[in-house]
């Protein structure tokens, strides 16, 4: 591999250590005076198999489809395969082996005194901040003081201490440090929507950041207010209601005349469950154009982490554009920071790459590979190939429907594939060597942040 290729493939990890994930010297959108409000919507257990604009035939999502028509739809966005790792990555911009949040049982390793949340970065840039929805699997969020440590001014959350009961009917929510009153007989997703709209209405004359991790469509799959009395397909109903709430939120922004000042980001925290394919507990996250997606939530296959990403900033994002740029969940942190003109935390490794230029019609500098981890399993994937922790190389040209094993432990399974596959493996191995996720089993998160000695003299990372 020549020097140019080496720098191209190691650039992602090296930039993360040196620059916190942003390219220095490029003026941020926020620094040019165009700082948008940002609403970051995270669907729960919602992969590409749940949206009609991605090819689902079973589920109809007119509001999300319309949102995509007014913005950019990314074909290749990757979360982690489960809730907690995904949420920790998008809040911190850091991969699981750095924060220690490698599965749903390790969310407590991300502590606000150790990790810098994107909300804190936005608040320091002058944004009013709020979170509404699921905080479960992450921790340390019960009081107003806890919220301030994470960077949120206001909150209505489910899943931590106060607020561990129902998330749907008669919800058990924590509102700004107190149990939500008068929730009897009400539907949780509606209350979250009302909270978000109220917060926006009160802060529409200043920049605001809303993190909106919806409770839909995670189980238990119950009836919605729109479900038929009998014989309803409640899973389909839940997707329809999620879509309806997104549409209602967009309509509220239009009514307040702030749609053109507001960036809306919609994604899902991991792939759909097997229910998307009509079989509870199945191993496919649904079908696209009649073909079954390979894998589902919790899987290291494509269906576990391939999620929708729709970004709409009316009048700014290229309307109806479909991007094939690679994006992973660490990228939201530096993207939001750049758009807000915010300073990234010093001496902290941020793994993400900003894709803000692409949202304003530019080419940007798309990442060359993405990283996915669950426990001690992980892989690096580019547009065509995927290399995992076991040294297995997969051809992903037929993803998300199939992955084909080409190399095992460096040996080609098909002789004709040898040269091309070996070259692909060498490139992806270069990225892995720069990241060092294989050290995570023995090293602490702090040790993971220390650059290699060979990299020369640099500040130690916290």
How much is the pLDDT for 5?
Answer: 52
Domain, as residue range, for 436: 373-450
Determine the 3-state secondary structure of 328 from DSSP.
strand
Phi and psi of 289, rounded to 5°? 50, 40
Determine the 3-state secondary structure of 327 from DSSP.
strand
- 351 and 424 together in one domain: no
- 174 and 245 together in one domain: yes
Strand order in the sheet with 393-395: 370-374, 377-381, 385-388, 393-395, 404-408, 411-412
- Can you tell me the mean pLDDT for 186-205? 98
Is residue 405 one of the residues assigned to a domain? yes
Report the C-alpha gap between 308 and 432 in whole angstroms: 25
How many domains, in total, are found in the chain?
2
Local structure of residue 218 (DSSP, 8 states): P
How much is the pLDDT for 165?
Answer: 84
- 354 and 404 together in one domain: no
Answer whether residue 284 shows pLDDT above 80.
yes
- 213 and 165 together in one domain: yes
CB atoms within 10 A of CB 123: 19
Q: Examine the fold and report which residue of 370, 388, 403 is the final residue of a domain before the chain moves on.
A: 370
User: What's the CA dihedral at 305, 435, 25, 340 to 10 degrees?
Assistant: 40
- 339 and 382 together in one domain: no
Answer whether residue 181 shows pLDDT above 80.
yes
Is residue 100 one of the residues assigned to a domain? yes
Is residue 204 one of the residues assigned to a domain? yes
Partners of 292 in beta bridges: 287
Is residue 15 one of the residues assigned to a domain? no
- What tokens appear for 207 in the block? 């920049």
Is residue 325 one of the residues assigned to a domain? yes
- Can you tell me the mean pLDDT for 277-301? 88
Is residue 442 one of the residues assigned to a domain? yes
**Peptide bond before residue 217 is cis, with ω within 30 degrees of 0:** yes
Is residue 1 one of the residues assigned to a domain? no
Q: Examine the fold and report which residue of 370, 404, 419 is the final residue of a domain before the chain moves on.
A: 370
DSSP per-residue codes, 422-455: HHHHHHHHHHHHHH-GGGTTTS-HHHHTSPPGGG
Phi and psi of 387, rounded to 5°? -120, 125
Q: Examine the fold and report which residue of 313, 339, 370 is the final residue of a domain before the chain moves on.
A: 370
Determine the 3-state secondary structure of 147 from DSSP.
helix
- 300 and 337 together in one domain: yes
- 112 and 150 together in one domain: yes
User: What's the CA dihedral at 355, 356, 359, 363 to 10 degrees?
Assistant: -60
Q: Report residue 277's pLDDT band, with 50, 70 and 90 as the boundaries.
A: confident
Within 13 Å, how many C-alpha atoms sit on residue 403's CB side?
Answer: 23
| Contact criterion met (CB below 8 Å) for 36 and 262 | yes
Quote the radius of gyration of the chain (alpha carbons, Å). Answer: 21
- Can you tell me the mean pLDDT for 192-209? 98
Chain segment 5-49, per-residue pLDDT in tens: 544 555 555 455 443 333 333 344 554 568 999 999 999 999 999
Considering only CA atoms, which of 322, 276, 267 is closest in space to residue 49? 276
- 148 and 287 together in one domain: yes
Q: Report residue 412's pLDDT band, with 50, 70 and 90 as the boundaries.
A: low
Chain segment 73-106, per-residue pLDDT in tens: 999 999 999 999 999 999 999 999 999 999 999 9
| Contact criterion met (CB below 8 Å) for 39 and 265 | yes
Answer whether residue 426 shows pLDDT above 90.
yes
Answer whether residue 170 shows pLDDT above 60.
yes
Is residue 456 one of the residues assigned to a domain? no
Q: Helices 418-435 & 3-19, crossing angle to 10 degrees?
A: 30
Report the C-alpha gap between 137 and 450 in whole angstroms: 27
- 152 and 179 together in one domain: yes
Report the C-alpha gap between 67 and 263 in whole angstroms: 11
- 357 and 412 together in one domain: no
């Amino acid at each position: 591999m020549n020097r140019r290729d080496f720098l191209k493939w190691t650039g992602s990890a090296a930039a993360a250590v040196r620059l916190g994930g942003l390219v220095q010297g490029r003026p941020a959108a926020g620094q040019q005076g165009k700082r948008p409000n940002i609403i970051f919507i995270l669907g729960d257990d919602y992969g590409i198999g749940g949206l009609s604009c991605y090819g689902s035939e079973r589920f109809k999502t007119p509001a999300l489809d319309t949102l995509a028509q007014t913005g950019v739809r990314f074909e290749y966005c990757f979360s982690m395969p489960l809730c907690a790792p995904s949420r920790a990555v998008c809040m911190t911009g850091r991969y699981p082996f750095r924060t220690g949040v490698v599965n749903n049982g390790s969310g407590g390793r991300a502590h606000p005194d150790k990790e810098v949340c994107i909300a804190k970065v936005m608040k320091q840039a002058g944004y009013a901040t709020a979170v509404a929805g699921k905080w479960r699997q992450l921790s340390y969020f019960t009081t107003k003081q806890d919220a301030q440590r994470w960077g949120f001014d206001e909150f209505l959350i489910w899943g931590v201490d106060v607020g561990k009961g129902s998330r749907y009917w008669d919800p058990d929510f924590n509102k700004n440090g107190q149990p939500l009153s008068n929730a009897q007989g009400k539907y949780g997703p509606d209350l979250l929507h009302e909270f978000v709209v109220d917060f926006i209405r009160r802060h529409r004359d200043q920049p605001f950041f809303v993190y909106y991790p919806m409770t839909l469509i995670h189980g238990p799959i119950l009836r919605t207010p729109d479900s038929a009395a009998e014989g309803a397909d409640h899973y389909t109903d839940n997707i329809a209601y999620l879509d309806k709430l997104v549409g209602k939120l967009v309509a509220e922004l239009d009514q307040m005349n702030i749609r053109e000042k507001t960036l809306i980001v919609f994604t899902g925290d991991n792939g759909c469950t097997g229910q998307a394919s009509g079989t509870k507990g199945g191993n496919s996250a649904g079908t696209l154009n009649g073909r079954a997606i390979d894998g589902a939530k919790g899987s290291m296959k494509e269906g576990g982490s391939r999620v929708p990403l729709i970004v709409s900033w009316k009048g700014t994002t290229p309307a109806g554009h479909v991007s094939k740029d690679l994006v992973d969940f660490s990228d939201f942190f530096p993207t939001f920071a750049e758009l807000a003109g915010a300073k990234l935390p010093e001496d902290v490794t941020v793994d993400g790459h900003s894709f803000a230029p692409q949202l304003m019609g530019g080419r940007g500098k798309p990442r060359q590979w993405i990283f996915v981890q669950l426990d001690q399993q992980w892989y690096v994937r580019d547009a065509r190939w995927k290399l995992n922790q076991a040294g297995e190389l997969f051809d992903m040209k037929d993803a998300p429907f199939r992955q084909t094993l080409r190399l095992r432990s460096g040996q080609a399974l098909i002789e004709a594939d040898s040269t091309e596959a070996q070259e692909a493996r060498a490139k992806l191995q270069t990225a892995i060597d720069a990241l060092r996720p294989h050290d995570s089993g023995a090293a602490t998160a702090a040790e993971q942040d220390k650059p290699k000695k060979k990299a020369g003299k640099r500040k130690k990372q916290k």
